[in-house]
Structure 1
Amino acid sequence: MTVVSLLTVLIAALFVPTATAAPKYRNYVSLGDSFVSGPFIPLQRLDPLSCFKSTQNYPSVVARELGIADFTDISCGGAQTKDMFTAQSGIPGQSTAQLAALKPDTDLVTVSIGGNDIGFMDIILTCAGKSLLDPNGAPCKANYGDELAQRVDATAPKVAAVLNGIKQRSPKARIVVVAYLRILPPSGGCWPIVPISKGDVPYLDNVQKQLNGMLGAQAEAAGATFVNPYDISLGRDTCAAPWDKWVEGIIPTSPAFPVHPNANGMAAVGEQVAAALAGTESTGV
C-alpha cells in the first residue's frame, strides 16, 4: 500500500461514525421520598414545586448515566408507602398517586420508601431534643426501646405491597429498590454539631441498618434488584467534614435539607445504581 493510500484510509476512518449502543432502558420512572427527590439541592424542579425535586437527585444521575431520554421522576418529599397508591396531600405533596406514573411499557423503576413510615424526621427531632439534657447517655434508646424495630417490621408488608403494585402496572420493568445513605457514624457521633447523644448513635445506626435490611429482604422476595448506599457511605455521614459528607447535619453546610443527602451524596447513589444496572457493581444484597 502506498503512503498516499494509507493516509486516505486513516483519514476516512477518522470521519466514519462509530456505532453506539442503544440505551438498554427506554422508559424510566422514579418513585420515593425526600431521599430521592433531593429537597433544597439546586436546581429545584417545578413539577410540582411542593415535592422539592432536584435536577441533581439520584434518579436524574441514573437517567444521564444510562442515556435514558424518557424519564419520569414522581418522587416527593414526605412520601410514605400509602402515597404510592393515593394523592399526597399538603406540603410536601402532590395531587397524583406515584404509581399512576407507571405504564405497561415502563422498563425501569427505582424506588426508595419506608423512612417516613417509621417516622424518620420525628425520631431525629425527638432524639435531638432529649440529647440536650443527656449528651453522653442514651435517652433516645430509653424513650423508644424496641418500638422503632417494631415500626420497621410493620413497614415490611407495606413495602411488599408497593413492589407488587409496581409489577402489576409495569410487568416488564426492572425494579430497583434503593436503600438509604448512612446518616450517623457507627459510634461516638459529634454532639453538639449533630445533637444525638453518644449512646444513641449506635442505637439509631442499628435502626437504619434494620430499615435497609428490611428493604433488601423485600426486594429479594419480589425478585427486584437491591442497591444499598449505606455500604459505600462509611465516613460520609452527618458527622463528616463538610467536603466529605454525603448527608447534611441539622445545620447544612451545603445546599440540602437538614439530615438529607446533598448533591455529592445523590451523585454517589446515582452512580452506584447505574453501575448495578450495568452489571459492574455489587448491589449490597
Structure 2
Amino acid sequence: MVVTRERAVERPRPMRALGRELRSWPTVLMVLLCLTVGIPLTIALTPAQDLRILGQHISVGARTPDLSLEGPAGLVQIGNTQLDIPRIQVWGPLRPQLSLGPVQRNDDAAKVFDPEASAQATAQAVEQLRTGFVNWYLLGAVGAVGTGLAIAALVGCARMLGILRRARGGELTVADVWHRCSGTIGRMALVSVTVSVLAWGACGALAYTGTMRGLAQVGSLSDLVGASRVTPAPVGPTVTGFAGAVIGDSRAARVGGPPVADPEGDDVVCQRSADSLAGELATMVPGGVRNLACPSATIAQGLRGPQQRGETQVPPQVALLKQMPDLRFVVVAIGPNDVGWSDLITYCYGVETCDDNLTRGEFDYRMGAFDREYAALLQDLAELPSRPQVVVMTSYGAFPSETDPACPDARGPAYAVGLTQDKIDLLTDRNDQLNAVLRTGAEKYGFAVAQPDLRPLCSTGTDGMSPDLQGLSDGYAFHPTAIGSLRLAATVARLVD
C-alpha cells in the first residue's frame, strides 16, 4: 500500500514539470519563434504542387506571408507578375496561390466551349484544385513539425550553453548538462511541435474556409485557367520571299530615319525608316526581313488588334505574320507603350518627385494588364503556321546608372524640373520590372531574348561614333539613331539561327 501510495503521488509530477516548463521564459520565447518565424518559414519553403487541369499546367501553393491579418489569394500568370484574386479572401498567413501557363490549346481545354461538358469539367477542375491544395497542406504539415523541432533544438542548445557558461571551474561537463537538461529539452520539443501543429491546423482551417467560399463564386472555367482566347485572323494576301519579320513599336520602326526607297503597304503611315531594325538585320542574315513595326503600337492595338494611324487603320501585325508561310524568325519589340512609358518620363521631368502612390499604383495596374496581353501574344507567336524562331527584345535604358544632373538631356527643357538621380533610379527600376516580364514570358515558351546594349544619354566617354539614342534636342527623343539601330540589329543577328 505504501508503494502504491508513493506511485500515486508521483504520477502528477510529469504534468507539473510540463506546466512549469510552459511558464519558463526560454519556452515562451520558443513558442513565439514557432508562431512568428516557424509558420511563415514553412509556408515559404513548402514547394508548390503541379497539376494538370483541362490540359493546362497549374501549380498550387501559397503566397509569401506578410504582416496583414487578411489578404487575397494570388495568381501568377506564366511566371510573371503576381495578381490578386479578390474573390478569395483568407484570414491568417496561409493564402493560396495559383501559377498558370503557358496556356495550351488542346482537346481538354476545348471543353470550355462545350455546353454539355462545361459544368462537369468545372466541377472536376475545382475538385483537382482542392486536392492539390490539401496535398500541399499535408506536405507543409510535415515541414511545420520539422521547423518546430529545429526551433526546439536551437533554443535547447542555447539553454545548455547558458548553463555551461554559468558553471565555474569546470564543475559541469557537457554530459552532465545533457543529463540534467534532457528531460527539459524533451518537454520543449513536445511543446514546440504541439504549438506548430495547432497553429498550422488553424491556418489551414482559415485558408480552406476562405478558398472554398471564394471558389463557390467561380462561374466559368475562364475564371480558373483563362482558356478562352481569340487570336487575330490572317489579313491580306499571302506574302513570300521573306526569311524574317520585325513586329513592334517606334523603336523597331526607327522613327526619324531616312524613308524606305520603295514604300509599300503602311511603310509611310508607320514612318518606317530604311535603316530600321529590319533594314539593318536584312544586311546581316540571309533572306529578306519585313518591317511590320508601327509607332505607338501596343499589344492590344497594333500587334493583336488593329491600330488607328490618322485616317488609316493598320491591320494587326500578328495577322500579317500569319500570311507569311516562309518565315524562319520573328523579332518582337514591345512593352514601353503598353505601360505608358512616355507619360511616366514626362511626369518625372515636370515634378519634384515622381515616386508617389498614384503613379506607382497606375504603373502596377498597367504592368498587370500588360502581363495578360503578353501571355496571349506569346501563344499567338508559338502557333504561327511556319513555327519560326521568335526573338524577344528587351527594353533598353535611356540613362546610365550614375547620371550628371547638369547633362542637357537630364536637365530637360527650361520650364522643366529635370531628372535627378533618384528619378533615374526609379525609371531604371521600372524598366527592369518590364524586362523581367518580357524575359520570363519568352523563356517559358523557349523563345530567345535579345538584350540590347546601347550607349545611354549623358554617358561619359565615346567610341568616336555618333550617339546611339536621340536626345531631347532631336526629333524623337530616346529612340535609336542610325548607329543605335545598327547595334540593335547586331544584338538580334547573333541569336538568329
Alpha-carbon distance, 1:26 to partner = 5.3
User: Residue 299 of structure 2 contacts residue 334 of structure 2 at CA under 8 Å; is this kept in 1?
Assistant: yes
Alpha-carbon distance, 1:153 to partner = 3.7
User: Residue 191 of structure 1 contacts residue 197 of structure 1 at CA under 8 Å; is this kept in 2?
Assistant: no
In 2, Cα distance between equivalents of 1:93 and 1:201: 37
Alpha-carbon distance, 1:44 to partner = 4.8
2:388 to 154, 163, 173: 173
**Long gaps (5+) in structure 2:** 1-240, 413-418
1:33 to 229, 246, 249: 249
Q: Which residue of 1 aligns with 2:296?
A: 78
In 1, Cα distance between equivalents of 2:432 and 2:380: 25
In 1, Cα distance between equivalents of 2:252 and 2:311: 13
Identity %: 23
1:251 to 452, 466, 473: 473
Q: Which residue identity does 2:354 align to in structure 1?
A: C
Count of matched residue positions in the alignment of Structure 1 and Structure 2: 239
In 1, Cα distance between equivalents of 2:434 and 2:381: 20
1:73–1:93 Cα change, 3 Å:
farther
TM-score by length of 2: 0.45
1:108 and 2:329 are equivalent in the alignment? yes
Matched residue of 1:276: which SS?
coil
In 2, Cα distance between equivalents of 1:93 and 1:276: 34
Alpha-carbon distance, 1:147 to partner = 3.9
Alpha-carbon distance, 1:181 to partner = 2.2
Q: Which residue of 2 aligns with 1:273?
A: 492
Alpha-carbon distance, 1:156 to partner = 1.7
1:121 and 2:336 are equivalent in the alignment? no
In 2, Cα distance between equivalents of 1:29 and 1:92: 25
1:211 and 2:434 are equivalent in the alignment? yes
Alpha-carbon distance, 1:113 to partner = 0.8
In 2, Cα distance between equivalents of 1:91 and 1:228: 32
Structure having the higher Rg: 2
Q: Which residue identity does 1:121 align to in structure 2?
A: S
Structure in which a larger fraction of residues adopt helix: 2
1:63 and 2:285 are equivalent in the alignment? no
In 1, Cα distance between equivalents of 2:433 and 2:345: 16
In 1, Cα distance between equivalents of 2:495 and 2:327: 19
1:141 and 2:141 are equivalent in the alignment? no
1:115–1:92 Cα change, 3 Å:
farther
In 2, Cα distance between equivalents of 1:213 and 1:176: 15
Matched residue of 1:110: which SS?
strand
In 2, Cα distance between equivalents of 1:77 and 1:125: 18
Structural RMSD (CA): 2.4
Matched residue of 2:309: which SS?
coil
In 2, Cα distance between equivalents of 1:245 and 1:147: 32
1:140–1:39 Cα change, 3 Å:
same
In 1, Cα distance between equivalents of 2:449 and 2:250: 19
1:202 and 2:420 are equivalent in the alignment? no
User: Residue 77 of structure 1 contacts residue 92 of structure 1 at CA under 8 Å; is this kept in 2?
Assistant: no
Alpha-carbon distance, 1:198 to partner = 2.9
1:91–1:258 Cα change, 3 Å:
farther
Structure in which a larger fraction of residues adopt strand: 2
1:151 to 322, 343, 366: 366
TM-score by length of 1: 0.76
1:209–1:166 Cα change, 3 Å:
same
